[in-house]
Each structure stands twice: as C-alpha cells, then as structure tokens.
Structure 1
Amino acid sequence: MSCRPSPPVFGPPRRHGTQRGAAVILALLTVALVAGIAAAAVGDLGVAMDQVMGRHDQAQARLLARGAVDWARNVLAEDARTNSVDHLGESWAVKVPPTPVEEGEVSGELQDLSGRININNLVQVDGASLFEVEQFRRLLAIVGVGEGDALNLTSALLDWLDADDTPRLPGGAESSWYEAQTPIRRPANGPLLAVSELAQVRGFTPDLVARLSPFVAALPADSKINVNTAPAEVLAAAIPGLSLDAARLLIVQRSRAWFKDLPDFKARLPSQDLNPDTNRLATTSRHFLATGRARFGVSMVRMEVLLDREQRWPTIVWQKLL
C-alpha cells in the first residue's frame, strides 16, 4: 500500500501581522497629531507671552514718557516761582539727552511756543484782527511768498478760521470750494489744533507749511509773543518797519543780555521811529510744548503735551502719543 501526502488544510487568513502594522501606523499618526497640537499650543503661548510682554513694555514706556513731561512741568513751575522773565538761557530750554533707566532710557525737551506767531489770533471774537493779518502777511513775505499769493493765502486761512460760510475775495474758500476737491473736506470754521492742519487750507502746500512751521503755532487765541525767545523772522513780522537783518542783530544782542522788560526791548531797537504794539508782546512765556521720549524693553513711545502756564503750575491743554 502506497502512502500519499495529506492534502493541505485551508482555513481563514491570518490577520495578526496586518493588524499590528495598522496599529503602529495609527499610533504614529496619533503621536504626530498630538505633537502638532502641542507645538501649536506652545507657539500660541509664545505669541501670547510676546503680546503680554509687548503691552507691559509699552505701558512702562508710556509711564516713563509721562514722567519726563511731569518733570518738565516741575521745571516750569520752579522757573515761574524764581523769576518773571523767560529767555533761552534758562534751565527749561536745555534738552535732556537720552538717560539710561532700568531696561530702557528716557529723554525730553521743552519748546517755547510763545515765541511764535499764533495763527488763531488772526480771527478774534469780533472778527479778523487787522494787526494780526498784516503780521501774518509780513511773515509770508519773509519766507518767500509773493504779495499776491500772500493776499490769497491769508483770505483762505481767515475763511478756514472764521465761523461763517461766505468766502472772502480774493482767494478765499469755504465749504463750496472744499466739497469740490478730492478728497472732499470741510473747513474747520474754528481755531486750528495743530500747525499741520494748515496743509488742509487752500493754497498751503506741504513745502509752505514746512517753511512756516518754525515760526507759527496753534494756541488758544489772544496769546502774546515773547521777544526773548522769538526768532528773527517772528520779530521782523511782529514789528512793522523792522528788517530781517536788524532783527538778527537784536537776536545777537539778546544772546549776550536778554531783554529785562518791554521798555528795555524798545530802547534797544535800531530806530526809535519803530513803534511796536507792546500789548501784543511780552518778556514772559505762557505756552510750552513738552516732549517726552522713552524706551522700555521692546517698546518706544513719544508723548507731546501742550502746557499752559497761566498759573504757576502748568496745566495740560492737550496731549498725544506718537
């Protein structure tokens, strides 16, 4: 009898290897997913921490800048207590260079705006001030504006400042003119808050505004010009008949010995025929621009504050962060 080999036995396929491979892949995918979520969470946490630190640094920088402004107010208050004349040789006129503090630095300065022509003086409660208008035209001539253009520019500025909507001639402009421009705008029909607003007025180009900016200010109306701090261009515009060269000589004399009072100023004019309106002049200053700059950590802040020293302690007219 011959022996035959047993036939192979077929059964269900073995799946253990396949299942183990799928489990490994699933585990790897799960690990990758968890790792991705963790990385995203860590990244979000880092961004959140950066934002928190940035806000913290910015808040600290603001405090430092405000501290510089408060220091300036103290300097002005002490100056008012100790003397009655303001000039550029006093301590308030010295710029504070960047001074290191913990994790940052702070600096600041004071600018006397009372030594400039106040644009808002052009329009008084009872209408345009002829003296202020002529003074502004003289300043325009000093910075290189022709007589005809100066007349048009002054009319446009008066229309911007006055409360009515009737354009002056020649060169005036009210809402009907501004609404036809691109972009459309409307005249303020009130005082300027900043000299930069001149760029919105008909005819005042950026170049002209830049030329005027060192000599003009936007202050509450009825301010006076301090002859001890006014540049030569302002003195020449404020005093009819005073040439720019003569005004520059006055500045040189003033640097050696400031004007003690208005009679002293009048006595040192180059000609006794000059008759300045002393009601619009002074040897003291009321309005100052305080600038505080600060860096803390990754943040930098610049703060500007307009101070009014009508009383001994200067009050804040406005403030802004830049």
Structure 2
Amino acid sequence: SDVILKGLLAAIGVDAETQDVIADSLLDWRDPDDLHRLNGAENDYYHSLDRPYDCKNGNLDSTEELLLVRGVTREIFYGNGEKPGLRDYVTVFSDSDRININTAAREVLLSLPGMDEDTADAVIEYRKNKQIKNSAELQDALGGLYAGISGYVTFSAGNTYRVIARRKGKAFGIEATIQINGNDFTIRKWKETVKQIEKKHEES
C-alpha cells in the first residue's frame, strides 16, 4: 500500500515531499489510465525527459524498474554507505501485500502506521525468544499500536526468499530470489555482484 511505501521511504531517510511523489507516481505507473495523481506522473511527464519513455501502466516486472518511476533516484534505490536502499526491502514476486512480523527488518517494521523506534526494537527483542503466531501474541508485542497495525501484517512465512551469499574477504557475491512450492523451488532472479573496492594510492 502507499501507506507502507511512504513509511518505508521515511525509514530509509527520504523526505516527505519525495515520499508523496514516489507513492503517487508508482500508483500512476501501475494503473491503466493516463490521469496522474496530485504528485504523480503519466506520459506527459515521462515524454518530457531528456531520454523519454512511456509510462508502463502495468505492474512491475522487476524491482529495478522502480528506477524508471518519477522520484526514485539511484541513491534512494541502491542506498549509500550510510543508509540502505529501497531495493533491500521490496520484491515483485510476493503473493501477499502484508508484512511478516516475524522476519521483517527494522526499517520495514518502522514503515507500519504509528510504529516508533522503541516499539520496533521491542518487537525484534520479543521475537528473539519466540515467534508471534496469533493476534493475541501480536497484541502482546505491540500494545496500544495493535489496532492500527494488525491489518498490515501476517504471522506466516511466505514462499519467496531473497538469499545473499558472499565469501568473507572476497568482493564477489551472489543474490538470488527463490520461490518455494512444496518440495520444489524456482529461482526467480539470479544476480552476481562485485563489490567496488576503492584503492588508495599514496602520493610519492
């Protein structure tokens, strides 16, 4: 939802104005019409760019497609040395629009309505001892925030996982998105990465 998206953008340090632009523009990117929302964008915006392209008017096929959406910069998508990027927390392969309260990263927990840092940390601490399996346990973990958050979360694991493997001390790594169906699995995405290593040269 746009509520969760704005919350996630806020959690990774994106300002409120840009949050509104990205949220509205993503809705416009996915809907079938040519009418843009208050802070959104349709073909009239994308055709005015130095390198014009069409507004898709359809669902995303990959997370990288977000880079085409108005407002999403490379820094917002990939992050930088100090802050994580949007790509670390979103997927196009999930069948659910709810957040798994048992596995969500701190930034994802902070995207929930009304969630503050202390409560997010309390949830993380709570689930170290046991998984949250039902509404009663969720209410125990969230306290007064339960009513506003319960509609956005789930207790059960999905069937889509992002796996990151990097050898210690090596720049090379692999990122894979895997979908599990019973005893079978499907690799939905495979990416080999090379971490950029800066070399410092001493002046002679």
Report the Cα distance in structure 2 between the residues aligned to 1:166 and 1:308, rounded to whole angstroms: 38
Aligned-pair identity (%) = 26
Larger Rg: 1
Report the Cα distance in structure 2 between the residues aligned to 1:256 and 1:169, rounded to whole angstroms: 45
Question: Where in structure 2 are there 5+ consecutive unaligned residues?
Answer: 79-84, 167-171, 193-204
Note if 1:285 corresponds to 2:153: no
Q: CA deviation at 1:205?
A: 0.5
Q: CA deviation at 1:198?
A: 1.2
Q: CA deviation at 1:195?
A: 1.8
TM-score where L is the length of structure 1: 0.49
2:17 alignment counterpart: 148
Partner of 2:176, secondary structure, is: strand
Report the Cα distance in structure 2 between the residues aligned to 1:318 and 1:225, rounded to whole angstroms: 20
Note if 1:249 corresponds to 2:127: no
Partner of 2:54, secondary structure, is: coil
Counterparts of 1:171-186 in structure 2, within 5 Å, are 172-186=40-54
Per-residue CA deviation, residues 54-112 of structure 1 (Å, 9 max, x unaligned), is xxxxxxxxxxxxxxxxxxxxxxxxxxxxxxxxxxxxxxxxxxxxxxxxxxxxxxxxxxx
1:304 alignment counterpart: 176
Report the Cα distance in structure 1 between the residues aligned to 2:44 and 2:191, rounded to whole angstroms: 34
Conserved 8 A contact 1:290-1:307: no
Conserved 8 A contact 1:192-1:218: yes
RMSD: 2.7
Report the Cα distance in structure 2 between the residues aligned to 1:254 and 1:227, rounded to whole angstroms: 9
Note if 1:265 corresponds to 2:138: yes
TM-score where L is the length of structure 2: 0.74
Q: Which structure dedicates a bigger proportion of its chain to helix?
A: 1
Conserved 8 A contact 1:290-1:305: yes
Count of residue pairs the alignment pairs up: 180
Note if 1:226 corresponds to 2:100: yes
Report the Cα distance in structure 1 between the residues aligned to 2:121 and 2:191, rounded to whole angstroms: 36
Per-residue CA deviation, residues 6-39 of structure 1 (Å, 9 max, x unaligned), is xxxxxxxxxxxxxxxxxxxxxxxxxxxxxxxxxx
CA distance 1:276–1:308, change in 2 (3 Å): farther
- 2:186 corresponds to which letter in structure 1? I
**Superposed structure 1 runs of 4+ greater than 6 Å apart:** none
Q: Greater RCO between the two (CA within 8 Å, min separation 6)? A: 1
1:274 alignment counterpart: 146
Report the Cα distance in structure 2 between the residues aligned to 1:301 and 1:206, rounded to whole angstroms: 20
Partner of 1:304, secondary structure, is: strand
Q: CA deviation at 1:227?
A: 0.7
Note if 1:194 corresponds to 2:62: yes
2:110 alignment counterpart: 236
Question: Where in structure 1 are there 5+ consecutive unaligned residues?
Answer: 1-131, 294-299
1:161 alignment counterpart: 30
Conserved 8 A contact 1:242-1:274: no
Partner of 1:268, secondary structure, is: helix
Q: CA deviation at 1:221?
A: 5.0
Counterparts of 1:103-122 in structure 2, within 5 Å, are none
